Copies of this chain bind each other. A is one copy, B any other.
Amino acid sequence: MSAEPRELGELRRRAGEIADLSGIGGLLLWDQNTMMPPGGADARADQFEALERIVHDRLTDPELGRLLDALEPWAASADPDGDDAALVDNLRRDHHKAVNVPTDLAAEISSANAHAQQAWMAARENSDFKLFQPALERVLELTHRYVACFDGTSQFAHPYDVLLDDYEPGLTTEELRGIFVTIQQELVPLVSAAAAAGEHGRVFPGHFPQESQNALAQELLAAVGYDPEFWRLDASVHPFARSMAHTDVRLTTRWEEDDLAMAFYSCLHEFGHGLYEAQMDPRHYRTTLAEATGLGVHESQSRLWENLVGRSKPFCEWVLPVLRKHLNGPFEAIEVPELYRNVNQVRLSLVRIEADETTYNLHIALRFELELALIEGHLAVKDLPDAWDEATHRLLGLETTSLKEGVLQDIHWGAGMIGYFPTYTIGNLMAAQLWRALSAELPDIDASIAAGDFRPLREWLRDNIHRQGRKYTSRQLLQRVTGEELRVDPFLEYLEGKLLDAGLLTEPVRVPRS
């Protein structure tokens, strides 16, 4: 083993500062979406911009480049599973990506995104796309300028690849096109068979006051592993999770008194994200290793808790008495098979975050198609509402009824996150693959869940996924844990299997592909 070079200490110091600044950025973002008075938005945009300038300057610092160059020979011969070699590798990738982008542009993007987010909120509240259009055009213009920064490099085959790489490093447009073709081909018949057969009432019928929902959420979260010493839960328009450190994890949810499923599943979903952050290896604190390796993996964690756990039969067995305890009325008359059926019912709907697990990826296919068209220049922002409605009709067979349930339903584009949506589908696919692997290693997992014991699952995820942080790429991690590449079939098989098991399909629909 090679001796530790003296540059490593300085590299760690720099990684520590970048991690601290990233934690601060997390707080700015969390606060903006939960606590900040509306009038504070402009000042917050300035603060984001100031922070972004500093982080970008740190990442592009020529001195960092020299340190990385000096460490390269050592890293090449060091243990590839060692932490320090991974730190060098991560910082080299971040440095190389950042140096292509001028600091002024990075700062402009940060500020424009903060403004567009506020414009999106106003447009949504007033059902007026025009209030959002100029801000989104600005975001798109800056996105094009960002993509153009990589024109001279050979790293990316497609402009959209530049964006994907920010969220799921190494993911390509070509790969995604193939995935979405398969998904559309396979999901459309599955959805129509199940939607025709299934019920069409609400997942959880009834009106439940926010207080009761909150008491339920607290018990639910405590059971799965939420610890108030290190976590908190608040309300926001768009549920999300953000951590300032592995010891400071913030979840948000949305309380809808006529739609318990919103808080119930968003709490489980955001818990999955939060647990990934909370179970990072404390030894990696203040390094790039205490970060998610990609948002696809991040999303696999939220989907796993929301769907593979939260909509499973054993979970229904455990949770029904909890529902009965906190929410009088409708749950007395329901038994496990009905609950299991209800929470898995297939029902075409307009809003992505209210979509069931089966139709969900069609919502992502729609967004992938539209944002790709925006980036390729086939679609102008002003035509986006019509394009949205057309795609909704074509992919979901539904007519859009309002902007809030249409093109203005998601915060992402307004927050500058173009290329982000596909990670949701990647997460769904990975979650199914991971579940196969963990079921094989934890044969009693169903019994544990039915008994409300989530510790074996948490520990498996911690040891196999969370603790690794950014030490391996998503592909490497998936390969290590499942022995496989990213695949669509395990997800489709899981979906169909559950629909059959829950009585929502009477016979198989899919023709197994070779």
Is A31 interfacial (CB-CB < 8 Å)?
yes
Is A450 interfacial (CB-CB < 8 Å)?
no
Minimum CB–CB distance for A243 against chain B, Å: 9
Known: A35-B232, A54-B54, A286-B46. A244 touches B40 (CB 8 A): yes
- Minimal Cβ-Cβ distance residue in B for A50: B20
**In the complex, per-residue mask of A185-229: 1 if CB is within 8 Å of any chain B CB, else 0:** 000000000000000000000000000000000000000000111
Q: Which of A22-30, A130-138, A377-385 is near enough to bind chain B?
A: A22-30
Stoichiometry, as copies per complex, reads 2
Of residues A28, A40, A53, which shows the largest number of chain B Cβ atoms within 10 Å of its Cβ? Answer: A40
Q: Please indicate the chain B residues that have their CB under 8 angstroms from the CB of A9 in the complex.
A: none
List which A1-44 residues lie within 8 A (CB) of chain B.
16-17, 20-21, 23-24, 27-28, 31, 35-40, 42-44
Complex: A201 Cα to B108 Cα, angstroms:
60
Majority SS at the chain A contact face: helix
- Minimal Cβ-Cβ distance residue in B for A248: B40
B286 touches A39 (CB 8 A): no
A31 touches B28 (CB 8 A): no
Is A51 interfacial (CB-CB < 8 Å)?
yes
Give how many A residues have a beta carbon under 8 Å from the other chain's beta carbons. 38
- Minimal Cβ-Cβ distance residue in B for A18: B50
- Minimal Cβ-Cβ distance residue in B for A231: B37
Complex: A250 Cα to B46 Cα, angstroms:
18
Complex: A231 Cα to B38 Cα, angstroms:
9
Q: Please indicate the chain B residues that have their CB under 8 angstroms from the CB of A42 in the complex.
A: 245, 247
Is A230 interfacial (CB-CB < 8 Å)?
yes
Which of B20, B31, B47 has a CB less than 8 Å from the CB of A46? B20
A244 touches B20 (CB 8 A): no
Q: Please indicate the chain B residues that have their CB under 8 angstroms from the CB of A36 in the complex.
A: 248
B46 touches A248 (CB 8 A): no
A43 touches B24 (CB 8 A): no
Complex: A230 Cα to B232 Cα, angstroms:
24
B40 touches A245 (CB 8 A): yes
Is A49 interfacial (CB-CB < 8 Å)?
yes
Complex: A249 Cα to B39 Cα, angstroms:
10
B231 touches A43 (CB 8 A): no
Which of B39, B49, B245 has a CB less than 8 Å from the CB of A43? B245
B286 touches A40 (CB 8 A): no
A248 touches B54 (CB 8 A): no
Complex: A249 Cα to B40 Cα, angstroms:
8
A47 touches B35 (CB 8 A): no
B244 touches A44 (CB 8 A): yes
Known: A17-B50, A47-B23, A245-B43. A37 touches B228 (CB 8 A): yes
- Minimal Cβ-Cβ distance residue in B for A45: B20
Minimum CB–CB distance for A380 against chain B, Å: 33
Complex: A257 Cα to B28 Cα, angstroms:
33
Known: A17-B50, A50-B20. A39 touches B229 (CB 8 A): yes
- Minimal Cβ-Cβ distance residue in B for A234: B35
Q: Please indicate the chain B residues that have their CB under 8 angstroms from the CB of A230 in the complex.
A: 37, 39-40
B43 touches A247 (CB 8 A): yes
A-B pairs with lowest CB-CB distance, top 4: A40-B248, A43-B245, A20-B50, A39-B230
A–B complex contacts, Cβ < 8 Å, 17 sampled: A16-B46, A16-B50, A21-B50, A23-B47, A24-B50, A27-B47, A35-B232, A37-B248, A38-B229, A39-B229, A39-B248, A40-B245, A43-B244, A43-B285, A44-B244, A44-B248, A46-B245
* Interface residue ranges, A against B (CB under 8 Å): 16-17, 20-21, 23-24, 27-28, 31, 35-40, 42-44, 46-47, 49-51, 53-54, 227-232, 244-245, 247-249, 285-286
